[in-house]
Structure formats: structure tokens, C-alpha cells
Amino acid sequence: MPKIRFFLYVVVFLVVNTNAQDKPNILWLTSEDNSVNWIGSYGNPYAETPNIDGLAEQGFRYTHCYANAPVCAPQRSSWITGVNAISMGTHHMRSRNNIPHDMIPYYPDALKKNKYYVANSKKTDYNIGGRDDKECWDNNSQPEVEWDILKANQPFFQIINFGESHESKAHDGKDGRDIEKTEHSPNDLELYAYHPDLPTIRKNYALYYDAIKKMDAKIGEAIQKLEELGLAENTIVIYNSDHGGVMPRSKRFLFKGGIHSPLIIRIPEKYKHLWPNAEKGTTVDRLVSFVDMPKTWLSLTGSEVPDCMQGNIFIGKEKEAEQPFHFAFRGRMDERLDNARAVYSKDFLYIRNYMPYVPWMQKLGYLWKAKAAQSWDNYVKEGKANEVQSKYFYPKMYSEEFYDLNNDPDNIHNLVGSDTHHEQIKKMREALRNWQLKIHDSGLLPESEMLKRASDHNTTIYQMVRNPELYSLPALLDAADVALEKKKENLPKLQKLLKSTDSGLRYWGIVGCFLLDDYKAAETVLNDDCDEVRAMAAWTLIRNKKKKKGLKCLQTLLTEKSEATLTVLNMIDWIDKDAKVLMNYIPEEEQLGDYEKRMLQILKN
């Protein structure tokens, strides 16, 4: 009996060990803030990225891969859960709102259940409250990868995040960086079509090309280490950026430069059955969304996929049908407010602006650390910029944008209103609404009202937006459509919305009245229960020769430290001269939140 038990033990051990070796390791290399435009193998002759380009020669280069958010925290929130941040209320930058963790696991949880060792070096930034970002990982404490531990703990899933290409590396005068002493020549590069050709902007591009070269070198070191340890034949290597960027009007924006990202996957011969093409070194033109990634990684490893995940598996034996569109979203970026959605096909881009009355390029403290942003801003203020270069510093005035990605890669020619593309615009507009309904878009309320409503009902935003009694998304979408049409014949509908018991519908009612300058209707909601409605009503009065009454309302919202304080601070900038008097009523800095303080600094400067 002892010999039989020992024999059975050996057999079981060998079977388990063999199965473990059959599971592929995954090494996920993520760089920060660089779109496809900064990578050599994606057609940039000025970029020095030999290691990434080499990976493309050994693997498969995806040509239509897009982030769901054009900035890190909301995108990483979508990554860790496999659920779009806009579906959970985690789409505003570093908001840290809670989600129901019993309903939404993190994808490393599923990998652990499948006996994977999961490690992350080292960035998290998941923008989610109620769970420590590091808790889901076996190892998230080391900035450097512990390769010997990985070799001893196969199968493994290891992330390495490279900050060498982060936006901060395009800031002059930090950590020895000098915009006047770049390795890359400012003269030997091409600018985006919307940037003026100024020496400072060219130098800022060159500085970032230096950063990209350093990032690529780090990518090369990781790949070399994998091979030195004999792990390459069992490891799928994935490289992509965490979204686009990084010159002004890319990161944080839903244009192509903000979310079109490189994606390269190298799969060993051992796992050839997972290849997307018959030959290595080829391109894959499938449309891929970042929200597809966690679900796909779980599929590749044979792990269980949580039901809550919203993506589609895009590679491997469980590959799902390609989707015709990619969807992206933008909410508040640090201290600055905006609200927009994007729909991408392989050929076209449709953008829905829910705040068309504010500029694209609002002055934002962190973005303006780049010399390129400062130089561009000054050039516009001096009246030297042409229409394309200057328009981003003024209110959009468009509730919709539509671009031909093939003929206008920098997205500068808005084709909304074009008879040629009428049907395509209609198709993408309808696709957006269907997607918003499907994933329960939480962004149809102002941020403060979204938080207040969830708090008042003691629920998470994720659960609130799935309760039609608390959040009637079809009605909110309809109200937003009416408001943004900017048609005088809609005034009766808008005035009816102002009488609704739903603060969200009243909000869209006042937005519509604002766009049509209906100050009489605005006066009826100047004392509304919703501070965001009151603020929009006040602005409507200010711009319609009712300045005294409107300013008095905004003054009250400031002195009462209302829930709309950040909105009012932004309005002081949007309104400009007529609102400068409100600076005298802003609460003391110690009474302000972090982003309110940042907005105050912009107003002071």
C-alpha cells in the first residue's frame, strides 16, 4: 500500500506539474503616455525604438488598438476590472469612488484561482475605493522585477510599467532634463498639424523623443532578461502603452493622438495555436479596445472570466467576434471639467461633446508644465496662430465632431454637416447610444450630483445607475439630446424639463436654456435644490445682461462651500472678466479640496 500511494503521488505530481508548464506565462510590458505616433514600427521615421520594433518582427503588431480613456487612472480602473470606468462611476480623474467588490473582482483574482503567481511592478492607480490597490497581487512592493521568484513560480503573470515615457519626462528642467540639450534634433521631426511650428515646441518634441528612446531601452532589458533565464519559450510577451499622448491636445483628449495605442504580442512557437496570423512579423487589423484585454488575458491562461466583464476576447482559441466600433469616454481631468464620448471605426471618429460651451484646451496646471503648452498658449494670445492652431483655446460650439481617420489623421477637419458622411454619422451616433444603454453610462449627471445621489441612497454608483428608479438613463440621454440640439423650437420641452422632480433632467433643461440664452427660464431655477443647476442658471443670467443676479447666485454657492464649488471656480475662468469679482468670495484654501486648490492657483495666475 505505501508503494502504491507513493506511485499515485508521483503520478499526480507529474500531471499537475505538466499542466502548470502547459499554461503560458504572461509578461505584460506597459509604457506610459505614448500613442502609436512615437513608435518606429508604427511608421515614425524619427523614433528610436529598436526593441519594440524587434518585438513586432517576432510577433504580431495590432494596427487598430484604442484606450477607453485618454488618461491613466480611469483607464487603469477599466483594466483591473474589465469594466468600463464610465460604467462604474470611476471615470473622473483620481476620484476613488467605491464599487461593489463582491460583484466586481479584479482580474488577478481569477489568475490566482488558476494557480498563477501574479506580480506588478509597480504602478496601480486604479481610481477605485474600498480595496487597496496592492491587495490583489502576490507581489506589488518591488519597483524592480524579482526574476528568480518568477522562474520558481511558473506559471506567472507579471506586469512591468515603464515610466520613462510619462508626461513628466516632457517637462523641462526636472531630473536634469534640458530642453536646450536634447539628443534628438528639433529640426529632424514632424509636428502635428494643429501645433504652430515654433522652436520651443520643436524642442519639446525632441525632449520627448529622448524619453521614448530611454523607455525602449528598458523594454529591451526586460526582454533580454526573460531570454537569459530561459523563460522566453514559455512566455507570451505583450507590449502596449496605457493610452495616447503626450504633446498638448493628445493625452486627456478623445482625438486619435489621445487613445490610439501600440499593441504588440509575441507568442512562442509552443503556443502557435494561439497565433492570430499564420506568420510572425505580420500586422493584425482587428479593432481592439483596452477593455478587451483583461478578459483576453484570462482566456489565454485558461482562467475563469467574471460575468461582469464588458470586453471581447480578441486572440486565442476562445476568440470572440470582432466588434464594429470602439468606445471611449472623458470626464473631469484633474481640476478641469469636460464630458465627452467617442466612437471609433477603422476609418472614422465620432465625438459627442456634452459640454460644447467650454474649450478643448482649458489651462490645466500639470499640462501647462510642458513648454510646448505654454508656447502654444502664448502664440494664440498674441494673435499669431491660424484658425486650426487657435480654435482649441475657445469654446467648442460643436456638440458633435466627425473625422476621416485616413485622410485627416490629426483630426482637425470636423465633417459634421457633410452630406457625404450623413449616414455614417447617424450610424455611429446610434451605436453610441446603444452602447451607453448597454454599459449603463454613469456620466449623464454632473460629478457632484452623481456622488450626492449615490450617497443619499446608500449605494455605489455602479448599482445606482442600474436602478431605473434612481437613474433613468434613457430619459437623461433624451434630455441631453434635446438640450444639445440648440433649437429654439425645443424651448417648451426644455422649460418642462426644468420642472422635473429629477435633478438630472433639470440639469439638462438648464443646459439647453443656457445654449439658447433663455434667461427667463433660468430665473425659475436660480434657487434649485441642485447646486449644479443653480450654477448653470446663474451663468445664463450673467451672459444675458442679468449679471448682478447671476453673480450673486455664484457668490452664494462659493461662500456656502456648495457641492458645485469646483464648477463655479471653472466658471470664473470660462466667464472671464465679468466673474473676476467672485475671487473675493472664494473660501480659504484650507477649506478647499485638492482640485479646487489647483483651480484657484490657475485663477490667480
- Peptide bond just before 118 cis, omega within 30 deg: no
**What is the edge-to-edge ordering of all strands in the sheet holding 400-404?**
326-330, 340-344, 348-353, 400-404
pLDDT mean over 143-162: 96
Least confident interval from 171-180, 194-203, 260-269, 327-336: 171-180
Task: Give the per-residue pLDDT at 9.
Answer: 45
User: What is the average per-residue pLDDT within 260-267?
Assistant: 98
Whole-model pTM? 0.95
In a domain, 270, yes or no: yes
At residue 175, the pLDDT reads 83
Q: Is the pLDDT of residue 5 over 50?
A: no
Residue where a domain stops, chosen among 315, 349, 382: 315
At 7 the pLDDT is 44
Rounded average pLDDT over 393-417: 97
Q: What is the pLDDT of residues 306-319, one digit of tens each?
A: 999 999 999 999 99
Specify whether 311 is located in the same domain as 455. no
pLDDT on residue 143: 83
Other residues' Cβ atoms within 10 Å of the Cβ of residue 164: 18
User: Which residues face 145 on adjacent strands?
Assistant: none
Q: Looking at residue 399, what is its pLDDT?
A: 98
| The domain boundary residue, chosen from 315, 345, 360 | 315
pLDDT for 135 beyond 60: yes
Q: What is the pLDDT at residue 20?
A: 52
Q: What is the pLDDT of residues 164-205, one digit of tens each?
A: 999 999 999 978 899 999 999 999 999 999 999 999 999 999
In a domain, 189, yes or no: yes
* Residue 322 counted as domain residue: no
Q: What's the average model confidence in pLDDT over 204-224?
A: 98
Q: Give the model's pLDDT for residue 195.
A: 98
Give the residue numbers spanning the domain of 290.
26-315
Task: At 401, give phi and psi (nearest 5°).
Answer: -135, 150
In 3D space, the residue among 560, 561, 557, 519 whose CA is nearest the CA of residue 537 turns out to be 519
Q: Which DSSP string corresponds to 122-145?
A: S-----EESS-TTTT-SB-S-SS-
Contacts of 177 (CB under 8 A, 6+ apart): 169, 171, 207, 210
Within-domain flag for 368: no
The stretch 8-23 carries a mean pLDDT of 50
Residue 513 falls within a domain, yes or no?
yes
**How sure is the predictor about 15, in pLDDT bands with cuts at 50, 70 and 90?**
very low
565 is a domain residue: yes
> Which cell goes with 233?
519559450
**Helix count (H) and strand count (E) of the chain?**
21, 13
Q: Is 4's pLDDT higher than 90? A: no
511 found inside a domain:
yes
Q: What is the pLDDT of residue 176?
A: 86
Residues β-bridged to residue 157: 26, 118
Domain containing residue 263: CATH number = 3.40.720.10
Half-sphere exposure of 137 toward its Cβ, with a 13 Å CA cutoff?
17
Any residues with CB less than 8 A from the CB of 175 and at least 6 apart, and which? none
**Confidence bin at 12 (pLDDT 50/70/90):** very low
pLDDT digits (tens, 9 = 90+) for 414-450: 999 888 999 999 999 999 999 999 999 999 999 999 9
pLDDT digits (tens, 9 = 90+) for 463-478: 999 999 999 999 999 9
Angle between helices 547-559 and 565-575 (to 10 degrees): 140
Question: Within 498-579, where are the H helices?
Answer: 503-515, 519-523, 531-542, 547-559, 565-575
Domain end position, chosen among 297, 315, 333:
315
21 — pLDDT class (breaks 50, 70, 90): low
Cα–Cα distance measured from residue 522 to residue 424, given in angstroms and rounded to the nearest whole number: 36
Average pLDDT rounded to a whole number, residues 107-114: 98
Inter-CA distances, 515 with 81, 360, 539, 545, 578, Å: 38, 17, 11, 15, 18
> Higher confidence at residue 518 or residue 2?
518
Confidence of residue 221 (pLDDT cuts 50, 70, 90): very high
pLDDT tens for 478-507 read 999 999 999 999 999 999 999 999 999 999
Q: What is the pLDDT of residue 417?
A: 87
Please determine, for residue 397, whether its predicted confidence score (pLDDT) is greater than 80: yes
Smallest Cα–Cα separation from 517: which of 485, 550, 532, 539? 539
- Identify the band that residue 11 occupies on the pLDDT scale cut at 50, 70 and 90: very low
CATH code of 506's domain: 1.25.10
How many domains are there within the chain? 2
C-beta of residue 189 within 8 angstroms of C-beta of residue 46 = yes
Residue 257 three-state SS: helix
395 inside domain: no
Summary mean pLDDT of the chain: 96
* pLDDT at site 19: 52
